[in-house]
Homo-oligomer: A and B are copies of this chain.
Amino acid sequence: MTEKSPERLVFFTDAVVAIALTLLVLPLTEIVPELVAAHGEPIEAITRNQPKIWSFLLSFAVIGRQWFGHHRLFEHVRAYTQTLMLTNMVWLLSVIVMPFATQLVGGFGTDEFTCLLYIGTIVVNSGCISLMTLAVRANPKLLKEGERLSGRWMYNTLGTTISMLAAFVLVLLVPAVNYYSLLLLLVPPVVARLVHPEPAKPTQLSE
């Protein structure tokens, strides 16, 4: 295996995420010409488009968190393999479809299928981060010198994927919980802290 610096990969990833994040605003900008054509009041851009605005804010938070998770992992990575590269591409795919999933949420709200598609996209995203984390843990040469991914880190990362899978199943069983099921994201850090109470090491995320 040749050692390849992930710098350009990370850069490319950041650019894609930045664009996907910014494209989230496009459905909001589409509100205005319609409102002008209908001789509406400007305040209706907000009051009559709350699902669009909430879905925009939700997806902003979701993509922001996804980027943060990617950032946190790659801060410690100094080389990449073809597996990491390909998993990263699938991760990017799950980010790029977010503006589409967000549009569906803005248009159809708490509809079950829409909700499952949205959470399913997050499951794929989180699953890719987990796969990349496992790949890095299995191959210490990929980590920067003297670093390791702590047990609490692994709990946190895999726990996030499991909690999102749980959210998906929960919506399947009880559609009424819809996007509130994403609150399950708050569980893994608590569990990780209980199981691994040791203080944060250089290689751990300070929480």
Contact = CB atoms under 8 A, between A and B. Distances in A.
Contacts of A35: 107
Interface residues of A, number: 63
B16 A71 contact: no
A108 interface: yes
Contact of A19 (B10, B22, B33): B22
Given A10-B8, A85-B68, A107-B32, A99 B25 contact: yes
Contact of A14 (B8, B24, B99, B106): B8
Nearest to A4: B75
5 contacts: A11-B11, A12-B71, A19-B22, A22-B96, A64-B92
Interface of A: 1-2, 4, 8-12, 14-33, 35-36, 41-43, 45-46, 57, 60, 64, 67-68, 71, 75, 82, 85, 89, 92-93, 96-97, 99-100, 103-104, 106-108, 111, 113-114, 117, 200, 202, 206
